[in-house]
């Protein structure tokens, strides 16, 4: 990099001496001197203070990002098609097709797969095993039991 050159004019030899003293106090060194002129030189200096400040200013955001990144975890979403399980009435004579209770003896094309046999009276149908999924969304819930007005005969 080229040297930055600056020209300063003074009015007397006394002003010259005062100006020289001021520049020497700032770290300049006399390179050449005549009775009416002087050349002063100052080498550029590496400032550790500014280097540390720059490092801190850049390092702290980097450190914060690394901490946030390390604390974060990968994310996984699993979406499944919920195959409906046939729900039987408490007495085992009806199954829920998603809209109404249907008699188990009636031949119909169920929306949900039908178990090969209706459970015996007083027993509960098998329950599908639960997955790790916390939220299960069902479109329709069956009413509490078969409604005599809703039966298909």
- Is the pTM higher than 0.85? The answer reads no
pLDDT at 45 exceeding the cut of 70: yes
Q: Please give the Cα distance from 123 to 93 (Å, whole number).
A: 12
pLDDT at 109 exceeding the cut of 80: no
Q: Please give the Cα distance from 19 to 141 (Å, whole number).
A: 95
CA atoms within a 13 Å half-sphere pointing along the CA-CB vector of 43:
3
| Residue (of 40, 8, 9) closest to 27 by Cα position | 40
Instruction: Give domain limits for the chain.
Output: 13-70, 78-146
Report pLDDT digits (tens) over 121-147: 665 655 544 545 455 555 555 566 665
Q: Please give the Cα distance from 121 to 73 (Å, whole number).
A: 50
Structure-model confidence comparison of residues 110 and 57, the more confident one: 57
Which residues fall within 8 angstroms of residue 149, CB to CB, at 6 or more apart? none
Q: Is 63 exposed, middle or buried (0-12, 13-18, 19+ CB in 10 A)?
A: exposed
CA atoms within a 13 Å half-sphere pointing along the CA-CB vector of 100:
11
Report pLDDT digits (tens) over 87-107: 888 888 888 888 888 888 755
Average pLDDT over residues 31-58: 89
Confidence of residue 19 (pLDDT cuts 50, 70, 90): very high
């Amino acid at each position: 990099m080229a040297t930055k050159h600056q020209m300063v004019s003074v009015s007397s030899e006394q002003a010259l001496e005062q100006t020289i003293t001021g520049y020497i106090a700032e770290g300049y060194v006399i390179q050449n001197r005549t009775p009416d002129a002087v050349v002063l030189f100052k080498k550029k200096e590496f400032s550790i203070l500014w280097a540390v400040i720059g490092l801190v200013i850049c390092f702290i955001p980097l450190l914060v990002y690394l901490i946030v990144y390390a604390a974060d975890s990968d994310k996984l979403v699993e979406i499944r098609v919920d195959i409906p399980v046939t729900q039987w009435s408490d007495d085992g004579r009806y199954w829920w097709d998603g809209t109404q209770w249907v008699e188990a003896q009636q031949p119909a094309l169920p929306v949900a797969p039908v178990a090969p046999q209706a459970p015996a009276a007083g027993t509960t149908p098998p329950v599908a095993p639960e997955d790790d999924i916390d939220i299960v969304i069902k479109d329709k819930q069956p009413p509490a039991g078969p409604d005599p007005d809703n039966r298909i005969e």
